[in-house]
Amino acid sequence: MKKNLLSFFLLLSSFSFVYAQNRVISGKVTDQKDGSPLPGVSVIVKGSPSVGTQSDLNGLYSLSLPKDTRTLIFRYIGYKEADLSVSGTTLNVQLESDPRQLTEVLVVGYGTQKRANVTGAITSISGKEVENTPVTTFEQALQGKTSGVNIQADGGKLGQGVKISIRGVASVSAGTQPLVVVDGIIINQTDLSSNGAATNPLADIDFNDIESYEVLKDASASAIYGARASNGVIIITTKKGKAGTAKIGFNAQFGFSEPSHHRQFLNSQQWLQIEQRSVLGAANQDVLNGYASTLAEALANESLNSTFTTLAAGNTKWNKYNTDWEKQAFQSAPQQQYDLNFSGGNDKTTYYFGGQALNQTGIIKANAFQRYSGRVNIDSKIFSNFDVGMKLDFTHTYNQRVSNDDQFNTPLEIVALSPITPVIDPRTNLVSGTPPGDPNGDFPLYYDPLISVNNAYYHTNVNRTLGNIYANWDIVNHFTFRSEFGMDQTNQTEDSYANSLTARDTGTPNGLGNDQTTSIIHYTVNNYFTYKNVFAKDHSLELTAGTSYEYSHLMANSVSGKNFPSDAYKEIASAALISAGSSSQSEYSFVSYFTRANYAYKGKYLLSGSVRTDASSRFGANNRYGTFPAGSVGWILSQEDFLKDSRSLSELKLRASYGLTGNAEIGDYPSLGLFTGDAGYNGTGGQRFSQLANPNLRWEKTLQLDLGFDFGFFNNRFSGTFDYYRKNTRDLLLNVNVPETLGIATQTQNLGTMYNQGYELSLSSDNLVGKFKWNTNFNISYNKNVVTNVRGQIINDGADLNRVIEGQQIGVFYGREYAGVNPANGDAVYYLNTKNGDGSLNKGTTNDYNAAQNVVLGNPTPNITGGITNTFSYQGVDLSFTIYGSFGNKIYNAAGQYMSTAAGNGLDNQTIDQLKYWNKPGDITNVPEPREFYANGTNPSSRYLSSGSYVRLKTLTLGYTFPKDMLAKIKVDRLRIFVNAYNLFLITKYTGWDPEVNTDFLASNINLGNDFYSVPQPRTVTFGLNVGL
């Protein structure tokens, strides 16, 4: 597609060739890779640049040559230039594609721009670089491929939420995900999950249909999207057919996944040892506190003996069973994927038809993801000056989900169960705890998630249609009008059911069903004019102006039922009691006006400016409109006379941009004072006050400065980009704490400021060229986030330690500082951290959690991330791998209060490190004395914080492409076999499952870096083939 786009662009630039006379040479230009003809290739006589032609649709050219012609130059954007000497009258040429040059034209908001003239910070990634990565969504595949973009999945469940932040998090209460634009249309990114853990709306996109990703990072690039652009923009362009013979592509891959890491828990003997020690510890405390007069009496009160017998399935030999429950949560996870596409066309019409079937199994039991998608992209020149086209993507996804991380029935909470409990209860030959084997609800210790695996389901079906039609009209020379109508329709049903055997979990004896339907209709109309011209040879001008209208309407309804006749009936049609039902709607609209001007003088002095005015239904009647201007300048030094002839330096461009963008990702009605009619009582309807009005609510604004330069040496064999940026966000859309005595806790206000500041460096090098090729791409980013003003508030979003505090990174860990264990008595102690007279902190210790003061304990977001990709090829063999690194953050194990307590908070099984507990006076350790339910050191503190830095081999691909001559015999154009690997190894000090974690039920702008029985990332290996016909 890019080739066509480029040739289109070339045509627009209206080269006028002067034909000369003398001998004629002709030939065919083809793609070296697959032999397909290349139309629109410039053929120029060396030394006489005014003499030349272009190849036609079949790649054929013919040119009259001046007498002294020795060499012809073949130039085609996206391909390496070929200089060939002339002899005879026929010269056939094969051009070799140049992946770096593919980015010569970038897709930007409402148009395209020559890379050379770009003055904003834009990263372009070719779809080829990431296609066939064995993951569910494109963001996962992009991890580590570009600077300034931090991508993190909540956990290893399939189709779940993925957090993308471009140049840091720029908002406290409003959205922080970048805007995603597909083929010019802003798409719906609303998470429609109803189980407390986000799903990923981008998982509906088959990323093998994607031609390129452009990431707009600075204000100059993104401000054309105005109020939606503060978090950056990702522009996705899907594949297009190209004129020429029809092509068929087929990919298939098969493989399997497994957990990338296991966590160690106590075995039966170890568990019994620590539990019994904790009974003694608690009894000692009972006596000390006077709750019991003798140790014997206290021991009798605290005894767990009958509990042990219960948990050991009635055995008085408590360690008869030794179950490794952690292993029970996982399953072997096969996956397969098939892609088939057809493309081609003639000089008027091109087409691309793509389809995919993807079937992935989760590493966690009961989790799977399937996607069936089709795409039709058609572009047609119906008149010489009038193009129309349509891009249409229809997708069905089917996600077999598990509960959020905070539910007893989620598979990984199984680790809390006691190792002395057997998986199968020998008394019933059923999974332990399956009724009727659990009359008192205390065997096993908690509800066994394995019961849900076989007796409950939660299926999410999404049908999505995403498409647009456009018309492009060259009205007069240089003057184009484009109209786009885009529709993104999402229909989701969530169907869940739990049968009678799950009663301990659902609290419902005869089955519980819930069905929920959510649909979003989201449409966009874009209309804009483009004017492109070159004046007096040196002045190149490009103007764009237009409007956009966007409307989104969400409708949802749900129904729940109980009392099913038997476990064979699963639909709510059979529920004797309809226990709950609901419906709701909401909508929003945007009306926008935008304009942009790009000016270049002599191809080396660049100037660009854009303005967008947005109005949205989301904002207060008093402040509905916002205007977002941005400007940038660039200077291509390498085009200056003093550098033009440099042999080593091939490119040097300085860039600077400054501009304003906004953020409007808040609820649909945040400015209104509201009553909600959901406050019924005993069957009578009621209303309650639910939101404080703020008619002055307006846009959150980010002013961003970007200074950067691009450079290339040795004909860009070694090249790179460096950027410095500073994003100042003000008028934060903040849920401000108000006095709760008003009967409400927060109000959305424009209050506060924060900034993100950082550096990005990316380098690319062709280390070896020739037969053996070796290319290295490297990127590294540093970002510093500081909340500078929230009017002194300490904002809490419900996690143990994450807070928003002035002077700190958003979501900073803030709480009591754990000081270890008092060797004399086994008490957990904390640093007092009270202020001394001189302002220093008192580092004395206390065993009174309340006496210790909260202090900043660490950052939840890495400040340095980077990736390195090496690509090798030799003859038909290709090898590529990406290593991703993330540094500087801490992870809080929010489940530490259950799994790492020295058996001090419940009978949950403990992590292996708890065996180092304090046992007798004088013991030096970090693990306090076990005291059952005495919460000795189990309150939230730095005890459960650890380093989250890691380095990971994200992707590895090894392929072999069969030689063409061999394939010609079987009429195959291209055949490649490959092995893909994902998350092959990990280096980290983190002792939990996986440092790439943020537990799904807490995840928010503020709640970052929490682990809570979260599923680790999968380690996946697949084998596959690509066939081209």
Partner 1 sequence: MKKLNKLYIGVLGTLLVFSACNKDLNLKPYQQLDQSQAIHTAQDVQITLVGAYNRAGLSDLYGGGVFFYPDLMATQTTIDWHGTFQGLTQMTNQQIPNDNGFVNSLWLDAYQVINQANNVIANLDKVAAGDKDRVEGEAKFLRGLTYFDLARIFGKTWNDGDPAVNPGVPIVTTPTTVISASSYVARASVSQVYQQAITDLTTAEAKLPADNNYSANSFSAAAILARLYLQKGDYANAATEANKVISSGNFSLNKTYAAEFPYPNQTAVHVDNTSEDVFAIQVTSQQGVNGLNTYFASSNDGGRGDVHVVPSFLNNFESGDDRAGMFQYDDPTDPTSTLRCHKFDNVVGNVHIIRLAELYLIRAEANLRKSGAPTGDTPANDIKVIRSRAGLTTPATVTLNDVLTERVRELAFEGGFFFHDAKRLGQTIGTLPFNSDKLVFPIPLQDINANPNLKQNPGY
**Residue among 546, 561, 662, 995 that touches partner 1 (CB under 8 A):** 546
Asked if 189 is part of the footprint of partner 1 (rule: CB under 8 A), the reply reads: no
Nearer to partner 1, 310 or 833 (CB): 310
Degrees, nearest 5: CA angle 380-208-466 = 60
Q: What is the DSSP string of 5-70?
A: HHHHHHHHT---PPP--S-EEEEEEEETTT--B-TT-EEEETTEEEEEEE--TTSEEEEE--TT--
**Residue among 127, 940, 1009, 1024 that touches partner 1 (CB under 8 A):** 940
Q: Which stretch binds partner 1 (CB under 8 A): 40-48, 107-115, 287-295, 642-650?
A: 287-295
Asked if 457 is part of the footprint of partner 1 (rule: CB under 8 A), the reply reads: no
**Residue among 390, 649, 738, 1025 that touches partner 1 (CB under 8 A):** 738
**Residue among 84, 672, 977, 1025 that touches partner 1 (CB under 8 A):** 672
Asked if 9 is part of the footprint of partner 1 (rule: CB under 8 A), the reply reads: no
Nearer to partner 1, 8 or 291 (CB): 291
Q: Under 8 Å CB-to-CB from 384, ≥6 apart: which residues?
A: none
Asked if 2 is part of the footprint of partner 1 (rule: CB under 8 A), the reply reads: no
Rule CB under 8 A: which of 891-920 touch partner 1?
897-898, 905-906, 908
Nearer to partner 1, 308 or 497 (CB): 308
Rule CB under 8 A: which of 497-526 touch partner 1?
503-504, 507, 509, 525
Nearer to partner 1, 230 or 552 (CB): 552
Site string for partner 1, 832-861 (x = CB under 8 A): ----------------xxx-----------
Asked if 294 is part of the footprint of partner 1 (rule: CB under 8 A), the reply reads: no
In the complex, minimum distance from the CB of residue 492 to partner 1, in angstroms, rounded to a whole number:
18
Q: How far apart are CA 635 and CA 638, in angstroms?
A: 9
Asked if 684 is part of the footprint of partner 1 (rule: CB under 8 A), the reply reads: yes
Q: What is the DSSP string of 215-282?
A: EE-SHHHHGGGGGG-TT-EEEEEE----SEEEEEEEEEEEEEEEES----B--HHHHHHHHHHHHHHH
Q: How far apart are CA 657 and CA 762, in angstroms?
A: 19
Q: Which stretch binds partner 1 (CB under 8 A): 99-107, 451-459, 739-747, 982-990?
A: 739-747
In the complex, minimum distance from the CB of residue 547 to partner 1, in angstroms, rounded to a whole number:
5
Q: In 3D, which of 1010, 1009, 1006, 998 has the Cα closest to residue 198?
A: 998
For tokens 């010569």, name the residue.
104
Half-sphere exposure of 98 (CA within 13 A, CB side): 19
Rule CB under 8 A: which of 603-622 touch partner 1?
615-617, 621
**Residue among 320, 396, 459, 624 that touches partner 1 (CB under 8 A):** 624
Q: Which two tokens stand for residue 439?
A: 């009359």
Q: What is the DSSP letter of 820?
A: E
- Helices and strands per DSSP (H, E), number in the chain: 13, 55
Q: What is the DSSP string of 31-47?
A: ETTT--B-TT-EEEETT
In the complex, minimum distance from the CB of residue 44 to partner 1, in angstroms, rounded to a whole number:
34
Q: Report the DSSP pairing between strands 733-737 and 1010-1011.
A: unpaired
Asked if 713 is part of the footprint of partner 1 (rule: CB under 8 A), the reply reads: no
In the complex, minimum distance from the CB of residue 525 to partner 1, in angstroms, rounded to a whole number:
7
SS3 (DSSP) at 451 = helix
Nearer to partner 1, 85 or 583 (CB): 583
Q: Which stretch binds partner 1 (CB under 8 A): 306-314, 350-358, 448-456, 763-771?
A: 306-314
Site string for partner 1, 959-988 (x = CB under 8 A): ------------------------------
Q: Which stretch binds partner 1 (CB under 8 A): 141-149, 301-309, 726-734, 831-839?
A: 301-309
Asked if 999 is part of the footprint of partner 1 (rule: CB under 8 A), the reply reads: no
Q: How far apart are CA 869 and CA 879, in angstroms?
A: 10
Residues in the chain: 1029
**Residue among 9, 933, 960, 962 that touches partner 1 (CB under 8 A):** 933
Asked if 12 is part of the footprint of partner 1 (rule: CB under 8 A), the reply reads: no
In the complex, minimum distance from the CB of residue 898 to partner 1, in angstroms, rounded to a whole number:
6
Degrees, nearest 5: CA angle 352-358-363 = 150
**Residue among 88, 439, 837, 922 that touches partner 1 (CB under 8 A):** 439
Amino acid at 839: G
C-alpha distance from residue 347 to each of 33, 243, 244, 746 (Å): 22, 6, 8, 60
Burial 984-1013 (b: 16+ CB within 10 A, else e): bebebebbbbbbbbbbbbbbbbbbbbbbbb
| 248, burial (CB in 10 Å: exposed 0-12, middle 13-18, buried 19+) | middle
Asked if 481 is part of the footprint of partner 1 (rule: CB under 8 A), the reply reads: yes
Rule CB under 8 A: which of 748-807 touch partner 1?
792-794, 796, 798
Q: Under 8 Å CB-to-CB from 49, ≥6 apart: which residues?
A: none
Asked if 436 is part of the footprint of partner 1 (rule: CB under 8 A), the reply reads: no
Q: Are 823 and 963 in contact (CB under 8 A)?
A: no
Nearer to partner 1, 246 or 794 (CB): 794
In the complex, minimum distance from the CB of residue 792 to partner 1, in angstroms, rounded to a whole number:
8
Q: Are 889 and 861 in contact (CB under 8 A)?
A: yes
Amino acid at 103: T
Q: How far apart are CA 13 and CA 601, in angstroms?
A: 15
Asked if 674 is part of the footprint of partner 1 (rule: CB under 8 A), the reply reads: yes
Nearer to partner 1, 432 or 793 (CB): 793
Asked if 687 is part of the footprint of partner 1 (rule: CB under 8 A), the reply reads: yes
- What is the total count of residues that contact partner 1 (CB under 8 A)? 106
Asked if 547 is part of the footprint of partner 1 (rule: CB under 8 A), the reply reads: yes
In the complex, minimum distance from the CB of residue 546 to partner 1, in angstroms, rounded to a whole number:
6
Asked if 220 is part of the footprint of partner 1 (rule: CB under 8 A), the reply reads: no
**E-only strand ranges, 273-367:** 333-345, 349-361
